Chains A and B, each alone.
Chain A
Amino acid sequence: MNVPTMAELAAKGESPEILFWVGCSGSFDDRAKRVTKAFVKILNAIGIKFAVLGTEEACTGDPARRAGNEFLFQMQAMSNIQVLNGYNIKKIVTACPHCFNTIKNEYPELGGNYEVIHHSTFLQQLISDGRIKIEGGVFKGKKVTYHDSCYLGRANNIYEAPREVLQALDADLVEMKRCRTTGLCCGAGGAQMFKEPEKGNKDINILRSEEALATGASTIAVACPFCMTMMTDGVKNKEKEAEVKVKDLAELIAEAQGL
């Protein structure tokens, strides 16, 4: 797989069209790594000049800030901003809504100003520009439901781009009762991903997975690595993993294109 790093490009005196910010999940989590690779395949297939930071990338600090550790967050943010500014980065695309939100909304106050795009919006733009053409209709008539990530939806008002991607796939999009502005969280945000939930009568991801399964969709589309983990676990807990797949938008496009 061709994955150029910023260091390589800079050494050749080149600059990329976009910087692909991979994020911690996309770099380390086995399931999320498949999404990262699917996205890279799409970029390579349509010939977008991109680069990643590779080992120069570090956690944006999102979970630290949300768990209350502002020092740690700002340490992370400032050193990331130093790296990004050092390479004179202008445009960042990421598949993680948490990285997206932090870099887009929280880095400017600390000196990091970039155009930040989530991959759902980016893919939707590529589709409407005709740079991604979907043929073959792998998903034609298949029931797909979309789970809104809080950090895309309510946090940043991105509700339609992911849905337009699914519609472009010719899938039969079915909505859960709680969707868009009232979409139910998967349970991972606010640093919950990194600890056991408090005492209660149910785990949030189980409740959300039940809602997704109730639509009868055979695919639960997500656009966030945390939602991916939570929904996959929820579907497994309900012993539905054979019939129902949890997939990221990038994976669905890569699949439709036979990549």
Chain B
Amino acid sequence: MAVLQQIVFIITLGVAVFLIRKRILRIRSTIQLGKQTEISGDKMARLQNLILVAFGQRKMFKKFIPAFLHFFIYVGFLVINLEVLEFVLDGVAGTHRLFAPYLSEFYNVLMNLFEFLAVAVLLACIFFLLRRNVLKLARFWSAEMTQWPRLDANLILFIEIVLMTAILTMNATDQILQTRDAHYVNTGTLFFSAYLIPLFQNFSTPALMVVERLAWWFHIVGILGFAIYVTYSKHLHIFLAFPNTYFAKLEPKGHINNMPVVTREVKSMLGLESVTTPAGEPGRFGAKDINDLSWTNLMAAYSCTECGRCTAECPANLTGKTLSPRKIMMDTRDRLEEVGKSLAVGGAGLNDGKTLLNDYITKEEINACTSCNACVEACPVMINPLEIILELRRYVAMEESGSPAQWNSMFQNIETSFAPWKFSAADRFNWAKEQ
């Protein structure tokens, strides 16, 4: 029986690892469709962002209550994974609570800590479910939050609740079994699950063994399933938030990335430099599709939690325009997934006749942006939707000359009179003579 369990476990683990690995490779290869960008600047500053914003959740703490509850889920995730390690080793070796003898008294402390976190996670998830579905917080119900994103968010919360319940059930039955069978290592009293003991006290020993095993299997298979599910979900931020904060832009938010290709051309036009055409394809100006964006933009799309804090602060969105910075990130991700899926089966990939601009994000959306950086400021994982918007605008302006007519006139004014309005350049200094 025990050996059979071991075999089944090893197979389950193998399948899960295989599936997760496949997804990771797929995601990595789609991110690599993006342009290579030089990651410049102070490594220490990048590390600081990673530690303060990702580990320290600094930006989350601008809203205390959700930050506090989210913090429990986050710490729970990190710490309970230690227990998963024991689960996996037990599963492979056919042991029970492998770490207990080595840690002796400390094992009890550790288990109690896990239980405390499990209860905290459980309560936080219930609160978040209520906030989404009963209080109906506006940012979770705006236009781009269609059925799947809403279901995704609810599923994650639901799965976490079920997983935490499994841990507590397992510990409760285990504690009863400890008094009846020497195989069950003494863990000492486990504070939270002890409250569940009365529920199972009257069970026969074999029945308890079954419940304990079922809870164990349920928890570990649940966790493995969750790990696979996460790679398809907005929940990927639990891993990608870390690199995303590390690679986030370090310059002041007002700075827009330079285009060295244009610098070379302008310099030669002004006679400042002899023309040295760099080798290779000239490439597009700006971005029409995902492969025109930097790989960091693409990773950011996978890191987005769809929390909508960006959109809730966006002046264009607040005044009823179609622009939503969250949608920019979700669209980028959807396009990445579409291209990735197609490439995996040898399909047309990027050449499927669709593009990020137009098929996903419209000109109306990108034209409405005031470049105010409210979205960038608001994002708890340091995503920059504005970078993508500006790259799309560059494509429209330079490759299509398709900017709004009033912008084209503004361009013309700057070219001819060196000001965005139609004034004569010679009158620029007249103000000094006026009273």
Contacts and interface: CB of A to CB of B under 8 A. Distances in A.
B319 interface: yes
A191 B396 CA distance: 15
Given A101-B254, A150-B373, A195 B407 contact: yes
A22 B316 CA distance: 29
Interface string B262-276: 110111011010000
A5 B429 contact: yes
Interface in A200-237: 200-204, 207-208
A66 B371 contact: yes
Given A194-B410, A204-B319, A69 B397 contact: yes
Given A69-B411, A105-B254, A204-B319, A154 B429 contact: no
B253 A154 contact: yes
Contacts of A142: none
Interface in B402-435: 403-404, 406-407, 409-411, 414-415, 418-421, 423, 425-429, 431-432, 434
Contacts of B415: 72, 75
Contacts of B285: 70
Interface string A172-184: 0000000001101
A27 interface: yes
Name, among A184, A194, A196, the residue most crowded by chain B CB atoms within 10 Å (CB to CB). A194
A188 B370 contact: yes
B62 to A, nearest CB: 8
A27 B427 CA distance: 9
A89 B270 CA distance: 21
A252 to B, nearest CB: 20
A202 B367 CA distance: 16
Interface residues of B, number: 69
Contact of B418 (A58, A196, A201): A58
Interface stretch (A11-19, A49-57, A127-135, A240-248): A49-57
Given A54-B429, A61-B414, A192-B370, A207 B262 contact: no
Given A59-B420, A185-B372, A190-B371, A37 B263 contact: no
A3 B370 contact: no
B321 interface: yes
B327 to A, nearest CB: 14
Nearest to B414: A59
A204 B431 contact: no
Interface string A59-89: 1010111111111101110110000000000
A59 to B, nearest CB: 5
Given A68-B403, A154-B374, A190 B369 contact: yes
Interface stretch (B149-157, B217-225, B387-395): B387-395
A194 to B, nearest CB: 4
B370 A75 contact: no
Nearest to A54: B429
Contacts of A259: none
Contacts of B255: 101, 105-106
A69 B428 contact: no
A141 interface: no
Contact of A27 (B253, B318, B419): B419
B377 A55 contact: no
B431 A33 contact: yes
A201 to B, nearest CB: 3
Interface string B314-327: 01101111110000
A224 to B, nearest CB: 12
Given A59-B419, A78-B267, A198-B368, A67 B411 contact: yes
Contacts of A101: 252, 254-255
Contacts of B105: none
B323 A198 contact: yes
Contacts of B364: 198-199
Contacts of A69: 394, 397-398, 403, 407, 411
B316 A200 contact: yes
B319 A72 contact: no
Interface of B: 251-256, 258-259, 262-263, 265-267, 269-270, 272, 285-286, 313, 315-316, 318-323, 364, 367-374, 376-378, 390, 392-398, 403-404, 406-407, 409-411, 414-415, 418-421, 423, 425-429, 431-432, 434
10 contacts: A40-B432, A63-B410, A70-B259, A75-B415, A76-B414, A79-B270, A189-B371, A190-B371, A194-B420, A197-B319
The 3 closest A-B pairs by CB, nearest first: A155-B254, A190-B371, A68-B397
